[in-house]
Structure 1
Amino acid sequence: MKKVLPKNLASLLLTILILFLIIQNPLPIAKVLYKLAPIARAEEIIRYFEEEAIMDAVETVNKSVVEIIVSQETKTENLTISQEKGKATGIIISKEGLILTNKHVLNKGNAYKIIVNDKTVFGAEIDVKSPINDLALLKIDAKGLMPAKLGDSKALKLGQTVLAIGYAKGEFSKTVTRGVVSGLTRAFVAGDNGKWEQLTDLIQTDAMINNGSSGGPLINIKGEVIGITTAMDESARAINFALPIHRAKPMIEFYQKTGRYEPAWLGVYYVPVNDELKNQLNLPYNYGAYLTNDEDNKYNGILPNSPAESAGLQKDDLILEINGIKIDENNPLADIIQKYQANTLISLRIYRNGIQLSKNVTLGKWPEELDPLKP
């Protein structure tokens, strides 16, 4: 059933709009709106302000969207030949020239140029590639840039309006597409250049993402970046994915504080426990991280030579807490581990064979060989 606004609210909204329009002096618009029925007027007002909010959001964020040109350099005796390999999108996140984008677009080459809003071209260096997520940080030597505001992707709701901005097909600059949040915490296998990666905790949206748009921002109507576009399902229409911005924040914060990023590594395979898995496995808890075999049944929940192995963790252990933080849908194990750097000592609360145990683990540095998109 279609919901309608109460008449008193409709009248209030109408009055506010008409006063605003009179101040601005677009009287023809006011006259048209006033002739409409009260409910129709209220709905027209809502649409008007939503359109204004969307246009303002795009105008604001566009100043922070950059084009990335990826090239492969070949050196000969006398010169260096540069061949363009692709284009992508990025978003400025600091006034000093820090740019967030996808990691997979940077694996195509070894030379990068950035074109900012005023068409100035900068050479760029890769400062960080995350081994955990399809994310990377580029740095350009620039000052006074307009950084985008990062929003709260954990607060997203199904049906919420979102906008994607990117360099579609590397040709159509700052293409804006509109859609809604179609799903949350999605998983998808994405590939590029012959390498494949299992992406998890994704935002699904019907806002179109095109080749060349990878690494661009997914924003809300307040102009806040809530995701980084990363993949599209080419076998279906209107199924596109973005990494939620909260997955990038630990990397950004550590880098800005220390100038480096060495993500911590525990070395376990797990599935998050919910009510369904609790009943299926006859567990006493409906939360936590249950250690189990990997997809290929190569490892029994624990990777060899890992911090988890050194600490004596076992298959079928249920990790309930890390440093007192409960592991649940709001705080997945991977997100908690991301908050720490390598060589940090953490405390685990574990359920094993009917009893609870405490284990101290010194987190290791993420092994490069485990990065699925490592060149």
Structure 2
Amino acid sequence: MSYFLSKLVRFNRSSVVGAVGIVSVGSTLLFSDDDTRFRTFVTARLPLPSQDASLLTLAVPNDLFPPHLPSFGQHGILSLSSYRVGPGSSSDISKEASGAVHDGSKPCGCFGRDTIANAAAKVGPAVVNISIPQDFYGVTTGRSIGSGTIIDKDGTILTCAHVVVDFHGSRSSSKGKIEVTLQDGRTFEGKVVNADMHSDIAVVKINSETPLPDAKLGNSSRLRPGDWVIAMGCPLSLQNTVTAGIVSCVDRKSSDLGFSGLPREYLQTDCAINVGNSGGPLVNMDGEIVGVNIMKVLSADGLGFSVPINSVCKIIEHFKKSGRVIRPWLGLRMLDLNEMIIAQLKKKDASFPNVSKGILVPMVTPGSPGDRAGFCPGDVVIQFDGKPVESMKEVIEIMGDKVGVPVKVVVKRVGDKLATLTVIPEESNLDL
């Protein structure tokens, strides 16, 4: 130990950190012993430009995990049913949020030390805590906790359906009295306006005599893997929580997560989200909502999933137009083709159609609209409603909510034969 201390006199002022490191290591090496009475620890305090918050380890009671939340399949996917930012004026964040020079040193568009805080401050006042008492024969046994975001000053709140409703087949019913708490402490009673089981998106309404803070919706199609995002909400009943991470994948398929049924896509992030984050917003660095946090992988860290805000906007349009989400059904299993898949299929069967792109139909449901229209397994869809297509996403966008409307489809078959089919979509039955 004396050897290491003697070296301190030779270090200049800039080497203090290195010296402390040597002293710490030296003390550990020289005084390590199985008997804790003889252990020596060297603690050094250095002046730093910022101070980190203390890390607390909490023993979480079991009742913070609502029993109604399911885990899905072998992947252990868990829905996340269970945020006060420091005060900051809009003038404090306007320059940095717009990419203006900050303190004369940060060039436009650069990520600065206040970028995340500024984005959180923009959305924070609109993030709410949603709490619903869970009753058992009139006795309150716990509370279902979730999050939400005010997207309109009239009190329209965007959240997850599993936070506020129970589903029975295609029907839904409210879980009970919905208590909505704002960042400023005000509490309102909420009412479920619309809810969709398949997408797990719901709209809740509260009434206020004064305009409420709202958040701006962004564009999730502009996200790229590696983009910074923040998750906001009420994890484990810890209100007003902000965590940061990056976008891991912009189009994670529901099939990748072990989900069957109609195809869905999620944003995958490594933001820390837990039970209670459900319904909370995923926010970009411009302070815009780009997703709704919905679930995480139970047995892993850094694997969280959100519904892209562009998909949510389409769901909201359906709510406004029809009061529910209308999904046309053709009864066709579809697969997007690429060069590699086409080469494999050609190698297996030389008579496979000569195409460079398109959508393969490997299976047709008996008695479905596609079956009645004359689709056959092995058909390759190249045109849908008069438009060239190469992905299922394009077909879904073209169909929209057209139920009962005839659609002409051009397919290419074995031997490069072309066929024009007319299919009449039906509304999908999610109970099946």
CA distance in 2, matches of 1:92, 1:327: 37
CA distance in 1, matches of 2:187, 2:286: 29
How much has 1:341 moved relative to structure 2?
4.4
2:304 matches 1:237:
no
CA distance in 1, matches of 2:255, 2:298: 12
CA RMSD for the aligned pairs? Answer: 3.3
What TM-score results when the alignment is normalised by the length of structure 1? Answer: 0.72
Letter in 2 for 1:348: V
In 1, are the aligned partners of 2:254 and 2:265 still within 8 Å (CA)? no
Corresponding residue of 1:174: 240
Aligned length: 316
Do the aligned partners of residues 155 and 45 (structure 1) sit closer, same or farther apart at CA in structure 2, a change above 3 Å counting? closer
Deviations 1:266-298 (A, max 9, x none): 332222222222222235334433223xxxxxx
In 2, are the aligned partners of 1:318 and 1:351 still within 8 Å (CA)? yes
Give the alignment partner of residue 291 of structure 1, picking from 356, 361, 377: 361
What secondary structure does 1:119 align onto? coil
Corresponding residue of 1:92: 150
CA distance in 2, matches of 1:67, 1:210: 14
CA distance in 1, matches of 2:402, 2:206: 25
2:305 matches 1:247:
no
CA distance in 1, matches of 2:322, 2:146: 27
Do the aligned partners of residues 51 and 367 (structure 1) sit closer, same or farther apart at CA in structure 2, a change above 3 Å counting? same
2:172 matches 1:110:
no
What secondary structure does 1:63 align onto? helix
Deviations 1:80-104 (A, max 9, x none): 5454442111222333333222233
How much has 1:329 moved relative to structure 2?
5.5
CA distance in 1, matches of 2:294, 2:332: 25
2:126 matches 1:64:
yes
Corresponding residue of 1:364: 426
CA distance in 2, matches of 1:128, 1:286: 42
Counterparts in 2 of 1:1-375, with a 5 A limit?
A: 50-73=112-135, 80-107=138-165, 110-111=175-176, 112-142=178-208, 144-169=211-236, 171-187=237-253, 200-282=264-346, 284-292=354-362, 301-328=363-390, 331-337=393-399, 339-353=400-414, 354-370=416-432
Do the aligned partners of residues 72 and 172 (structure 1) sit closer, same or farther apart at CA in structure 2, a change above 3 Å counting? closer
How much has 1:213 moved relative to structure 2?
0.5
Do the aligned partners of residues 280 and 168 (structure 1) sit closer, same or farther apart at CA in structure 2, a change above 3 Å counting? same
Deviations 1:224-271 (A, max 9, x none): 111111222233321222221222221112223444433322332222
Which blocks of at least 5 consecutive residues in structure 2 are unaligned?
1-94, 97-101, 167-173, 347-352
Deviations 1:333-359 (A, max 9, x none): 34444x224334433332233233333
Which blocks of at least 5 consecutive residues in structure 1 are unaligned?
1-19, 22-28, 34-40, 293-300, 371-375
What secondary structure does 2:332 align onto? coil
What TM-score results when the alignment is normalised by the length of structure 2? Answer: 0.63
Corresponding residue of 2:12: none
Percent identical across equivalent pairs? 27
What secondary structure does 1:138 align onto? strand
Higher strand share: 1
CA distance in 1, matches of 2:342, 2:249: 23
CA distance in 1, matches of 2:304, 2:317: 27
Do the aligned partners of residues 122 and 319 (structure 1) sit closer, same or farther apart at CA in structure 2, a change above 3 Å counting? farther
Corresponding residue of 2:61: none
How much has 1:212 moved relative to structure 2?
0.7
Do the aligned partners of residues 330 and 310 (structure 1) sit closer, same or farther apart at CA in structure 2, a change above 3 Å counting? closer
In 2, are the aligned partners of 1:158 and 1:181 still within 8 Å (CA)? yes
Do the aligned partners of residues 248 and 286 (structure 1) sit closer, same or farther apart at CA in structure 2, a change above 3 Å counting? farther
Do the aligned partners of residues 286 and 232 (structure 1) sit closer, same or farther apart at CA in structure 2, a change above 3 Å counting? farther
In 2, are the aligned partners of 1:65 and 1:216 still within 8 Å (CA)? yes
In 1, are the aligned partners of 2:403 and 2:425 still within 8 Å (CA)? yes
CA distance in 2, matches of 1:190, 1:212: 24
Deviations 1:312-348 (A, max 9, x none): 32322223333344434594434444x2243344333
Do the aligned partners of residues 367 and 234 (structure 1) sit closer, same or farther apart at CA in structure 2, a change above 3 Å counting? same
